[in-house]
Amino acid sequence: MFKKLLSLDEAKKRIEEAFSPKPLRTEKIPLLKAVGRVLAEDVASPINVPPFHRSTVDGYAVRAEDTFGAEEDSPAALRLMGHVNVGEMSSLTVERGSTVEIVTGAPLPTNTDAVAMVENTTQKDGKILVYKPVARGENIMPSGSDIHKDETVLKRGTSVSSRELGVLAALGVMQVKVFKQPRVAIVSTGAEIVEPGKPLPPGKIYDINTTTLAAAVLESGGEPIGFGIVQDDDEELLKETLRKVIDVADAVITSGGVSVGPKDVVPQIIDKLGKPGLVVHGVAVKPGKPVAVAIIDSKPVFSLPGNPTSSLLMFHLLVRPILFRMAGKEEKPFATVKAIVTAKLFSARGRRTFVTVTLSRDNEGRWLASPVPTGQSGAITTLAKANGYVELKETQQFIEAREEVNVFLFKALED
């Protein structure tokens, strides 16, 4: 255990020293399932793209040298051998002094090396008259000019969107190897919480954190595994459950059972489950101070507070960056907007302070950030009303009303 609270930066450093997040497994999945996932290997092209010399215009496929010296008043006269359409490979071998009609996108016939645009030709007595010479390669997209066979087209670590899928489809690839999403076990503890959907006995409240944390895990590229509610007054059951959970998951998040006082059981139990055990126990932040982090069997175990807002904020600050990296993604910073605070914001002395705010626009279209009245601890509506948070550094005493600040957004704004 640690006597002095760690700063947020020290806490992150301790976690970093004890655990280096990386993707653990890979899987092959169909292209469309891969949207939002991360490539686990470089992808090299099995083919040339385009696979053949392709005409980029409507016109006549020629041997370029046959058109050299052609002029407006002395056109090259070429014998028309036939026609080639898109999707068909002409069987014609074009001899000297001959040509084949071709449309945009069609493959060039054997022996041709350029296309004369239809605009620069006329037809007369079965001959094609070309009034302007073309250079070798003119109006052609050569085989492999977009992508060479064996060229690496997408790198391991690339996030997959519709555009990357387009490249994979162009190669004829159907399946792609991506990093598996980390499996994150969620355990809520507390004597007073009841699973939503069940009847609510007197004195109890519904469990919020299992749901919000599972959704936050999903939003961070992980796969949540719910483990329901464990009473925090049954230490043996709690220990047994956590032991089991650490075995099956890649990371564990608990909520509750961390208030400083007689009920601070969860971090103490976690610490005994393996080495190195707790690396962070209490952080100088507000809210979220009682947060604890352990590394057990090379897996991170996050013990978050029971208060839903604190719990979700600590998730965003400590858990999300690690899940991102376990999913193979870049650690993505929060989107921010500049806004003017509508009231003076105070910090908790010596602690990094986070004030949840609601955003609105003023008459001139500027963003205003109004602190969400947290009221009593445990209020859940504050969560849904907040668009993001404002941060006050440990050394900062307050932010004056009307000051401009960065608001870190819980999700990208939708207006």
Helix (H) or strand (E) holding 259: none
At which residue do the structure tokens 């205003």 appear?
Answer: 368
**Given the complex with a copy of itself, which of 105 and 276 has the nearer CB atom?**
105
Question: Partners of 198 in the beta sheet?
Answer: none
**Given the complex with a copy of itself, which of 91 and 363 has the nearer CB atom?**
91
**Given the complex with a copy of itself, which of 27 and 58 has the nearer CB atom?**
58
**Given the complex with a copy of itself, which of 24 and 194 has the nearer CB atom?**
194
Count of other CB atoms within 10 angstroms of residue 283: 26
- 3-class SS shares of the chain: helix, strand, coil, % to 5: 20, 35, 45
**Given the complex with a copy of itself, which of 162 and 363 has the nearer CB atom?**
162
Question: Partners of 54 in the beta sheet?
Answer: 107, 141
Query: Taking the complex as a whole, how short is the minimal distance between the CB of residue 60 and a copy of itself, in angstroms?
Result: 16
**Given the complex with a copy of itself, which of 220 and 303 has the nearer CB atom?**
220
CA distance 91 to 83: 10
Query: Taking the complex as a whole, how short is the minimal distance between the CB of residue 91 and a copy of itself, in angstroms?
Result: 10
What value, to the nearest 5°, has the Cα angle with vertex 44 and ends 38 and 50? 115
Structure tokens at 120: 């620069």
**Given the complex with a copy of itself, which of 364 and 415 has the nearer CB atom?**
415
Asked if 285 and 295 touch (Cβ cutoff 8 Å), the reply is: no
Query: Taking the complex as a whole, how short is the minimal distance between the CB of residue 373 and a copy of itself, in angstroms?
Result: 11
Strand 285-286 to strand 388-392: parallel, antiparallel, or no bridges (unpaired)?
unpaired
Query: Taking the complex as a whole, how short is the minimal distance between the CB of residue 283 and a copy of itself, in angstroms?
Result: 20
Query: Taking the complex as a whole, how short is the minimal distance between the CB of residue 156 and a copy of itself, in angstroms?
Result: 15
Query: Taking the complex as a whole, how short is the minimal distance between the CB of residue 382 and a copy of itself, in angstroms?
Result: 8
Query: Taking the complex as a whole, how short is the minimal distance between the CB of residue 323 and a copy of itself, in angstroms?
Result: 13
Query: Taking the complex as a whole, how short is the minimal distance between the CB of residue 407 and a copy of itself, in angstroms?
Result: 15
**Given the complex with a copy of itself, which of 180 and 316 has the nearer CB atom?**
316
Query: Taking the complex as a whole, how short is the minimal distance between the CB of residue 196 and a copy of itself, in angstroms?
Result: 5
* The one-letter amino acid at 314: M
Question: Partners of 344 in the beta sheet?
Answer: none
Structure tokens at 143: 């085989």
**Separation of CA 156 from chain center:** 14
CA distance 332 to 80: 60
Structure tokens at 171: 């190669």
* The one-letter amino acid at 197: G
**Given the complex with a copy of itself, which of 99 and 387 has the nearer CB atom?**
387
CA dihedral over 326, 331, 333, 335, signed as positive or negative: negative
Count of other CB atoms within 10 angstroms of residue 127: 16
Those residues with Cβ within 8 angstroms of residue 87's Cβ, 6 or more apart along the chain or in another chain: 106
Within 13 Å and on the Cβ side, how many CA atoms surround 110? 6
CA distance 229 to 186: 9
**Separation of CA 30 from chain center:** 18
**Given the complex with a copy of itself, which of 335 and 401 has the nearer CB atom?**
335
Query: Taking the complex as a whole, how short is the minimal distance between the CB of residue 247 and a copy of itself, in angstroms?
Result: 23
At which residue do the structure tokens 């387009």 appear?
Answer: 166
Structure tokens at 341: 């605070």
